[in-house]
Amino acid sequence: MAGGYERWTHEQLVARIQELELELELELQPHPPERVSTTNNAEPSPADAQRQTPYRKPPRQPPKAFDASKYSTRLIALKFAYLGQKYNGFEHHNNNTTPLPTIEEELWKALMKTRLINPTPSARDTPRYNGTDRKTFAAWDQNGAAVNWEGCEYSKCGRTDRGVSAFGQVIGIRVRSNRSLPRPSASLSVAAEDLAGEATAEPAKPFDELEDELPYIQLLNRVLPPDIRIYAWCPNPPPDFSARFSCKERRYKYFFTNPCFGPVPGSPGLYTSPTARAPMREGWLDIDAMQQACKSLTGLHDFRNFCKIDASKQLTNFQRRIFHASVEEISPLSFPAYLSHPAVQSPSTGAEQPKMYAFVLHGSAFLWHQVRSIVAILFLVGQGLEAPSLIPALLDTSTNPTRPKYEMASDAPLVLWDCIFPHAVEVQSSKERERGYEDRLEWVYVGDEGGIEPKSLGKAKSGGPSSIGRGKWGRGGVVDDVWEVWRGNKMDETLSALLLDTISERGKSTLGVEQSSTGEVGIAKGGPRVFDGGNLGRAKGNYTPILQRERQDPVEVVNERYAKRKGLDPKKIVPKEDEADE
């Protein structure tokens, strides 16, 4: 036997040892199963010895359920920004399928994926949230999620419509914390006597609510889409904090260019305005006239003619306080060079260079589509189709109790710029307060202490400083994320501008030729194209002044019709006076 083993290879010997170990293990069992011997006690051949027992991968263990009861929680506020063109607005409604996801749904999924919240399951939620895994997350991303904020103390500030962006949106939420749960105290005297002789337990380590806390900003940004970014959090909002009711001022900006769309060179692009002294060129806006119209907006006014009536809220009070309204020039931007040519300048505004502007509006609260309705009227004033006096005329509900029919401005350029939370002692009613508030929440911004990526404080494998940024600048930072979005759009903008310049210089119909041509002043057919905030002017035919248009039904009629259709008792209806939508 020994001589036979000497001729075996190393692999054959290992295989034989494994076979003997298996036989020994089976013999040591209390009741070994019957075995059919295939060797008949004969010496195994080298070929049989090479046959090893195939390796079987152990079955994957199911994911360990997340036990939220082992963690403490805290109420915080989150400030974040998003570009709204790819979303169906901020607010999410279950069982209401939308063609695009909502911002609220993306936030909820991110909070769930990071285990920062553990909602209370409703009766319809048969599986509990602590057992969710990657398959569940993938199904949410593909088919949508049933958003549930129960038990999270969730509140939201502004509810932007589809396509509207926000740079200062705020939510309040109770989230998981790194702070250790308090240890149970020995309340019984017997237990105290038993513990008296034992060594005194070490006191709990002090907890720094900034340095020792979870990196909320980085955790959420890792799983959020690139066009939604958390950039600040507040660790100590008031105990009764509500992002909706604690906010006493909202600030909006509506961006537009001047010219607002491509002007036609020469005399064919000119039209006579009923309000301007000189002819105006289609596409250019009179910024001075718009500024004059803004002055009438500040103060406490009834804005029923500058909003869309939502009968489901049964509103009866349309008074809103506007703290500030103006048209402001934005930092210089690059425009196609051909727009500076005299052939496309407007006689009424002179040799004004193309610029980017923003209509800035601060107010205590806003009605549904109030900002976009105001902007639509301002654009008509800027085009010389209406006088600045139209705004005070529409604010005078004794003379104009019903809203004329006109289209509101486009959604894309509108941004919820900021939300302001003053101290409770500073809050006044909209009738008393005449100036804006200052934000008193103590925000921790990304990159500051409490908003740093923890991995950036360690060392790289080489022993040097970590190559990961602190959460704001550098690799994995918010600035890098937003830069990627900006650069992609900037390349599209630059190439489009170069294409416009290239086309305008080619052929015989150049800007110089159009400038020297003579002809009658006026648009060929109908009136000038009307600007509504979109990318192109809209042909509307002969323009009908706003005050001469058909009127909508009075608010009282709209509310009564809705209440009757829904079977509501008018005596029991409580109007929702403080709703804020845009």
What is the DSSP track for 115-162? T---PPP-TT--S-GGG--HHHHHHHHHH------TTTT-EES-B--T
- Are 255 and 413 in contact by the 8 Å Cβ rule? The answer is yes
SS3 for 474?
coil
Closest CA to 164 of 441, 370, 420: 370
Q: 249-414+524-543: which CATH topology? A: Alpha-Beta Plaits (3.30.70)
Q: Does a cis peptide bond (omega within 30 degrees of 0) precede residue 342? A: no
Q: Is the pLDDT of residue 197 over 50?
A: no
Alpha-carbon span 394 to 374, nearest angstrom: 10
**Beta bridge partners of residue 299, listed in sequence order:** 322
- Region of poorest pLDDT, from 65-69, 115-119, 411-415, 551-555: 65-69
- Region of poorest pLDDT, from 75-89, 223-237, 400-414, 479-493: 479-493
Alpha-carbon span 215 to 211, nearest angstrom: 9
Mean pLDDT of all residues in 4-17: 78
CA–chain centroid gap for 579, Å, is: 20
pTM confidence score: 0.82
Mean pLDDT of all residues in 37-65: 62
Binning pLDDT at 50, 70 and 90, where does residue 424 land?
very high
CA–chain centroid gap for 229, Å, is: 7
Q: Is the pLDDT of residue 379 over 80?
A: yes
Per-domain residue ranges of the chain: 2-30+41-49, 249-414+524-543
Closest CA to 181 of 70, 284, 255: 70
Q: In sequence order, which residues have a C-beta less than 8 Å from that of residue 135 and are 6 or more positions away?
A: none
The conformation of residue 170, written as its DSSP 8-state character, comes to E
CA–chain centroid gap for 313, Å, is: 25
Question: Where on the phi/psi map is residue 424: left (φ > 0), alpha (ψ -120 to 50), or beta?
Answer: alpha
Show the tokens assigned to 297.
Answer: 């907006």
Length of the chain: 582
Burial of 229 (0-12, 13-18, 19+ CB in 10 A): buried
pLDDT score recorded for residue 104: 96
pLDDT score recorded for residue 196: 47
Residue type, 363: G
Q: Is the pLDDT of residue 63 over 90?
A: no
Show the tokens assigned to 560.
Answer: 């009564």
Regarding predicted confidence, which is higher, 456 or 309? 309
Q: In sequence order, which residues have a C-beta less than 8 Å from that of residue 111 and are 6 or more positions away?
A: 117, 173, 175, 220
The conformation of residue 299, written as its DSSP 8-state character, comes to E
Pairing mode of beta strands 355-363, 319-329: antiparallel
Residue type, 136: T
CA–chain centroid gap for 148, Å, is: 18
Alpha-carbon span 77 to 420, nearest angstrom: 13
Which residue of the set 48, 67, 141, 161 is catalytic? 161
Q: In sequence order, which residues have a C-beta less than 8 Å from that of residue 496 and are 6 or more positions away?
A: none
**pLDDT tens sequence across 310-353:** 888 888 899 999 999 999 998 777 778 878 888 887 876 666 78
Alpha-carbon span 135 to 130, nearest angstrom: 14
Residue type, 62: P
Q: Is the pLDDT of residue 146 over 50?
A: yes
Alpha-carbon span 481 to 474, nearest angstrom: 10
Q: Is the pLDDT of residue 290 over 90?
A: yes
Examine the residue annotation and report whether 532 is marked as an active-site residue of this protein.
no
Alpha-carbon span 452 to 433, nearest angstrom: 38
pLDDT score recorded for residue 41: 54
Alpha-carbon span 297 to 113, nearest angstrom: 45
Regarding predicted confidence, which is higher, 558 or 525? 558
- Are 430 and 365 in contact by the 8 Å Cβ rule? The answer is yes
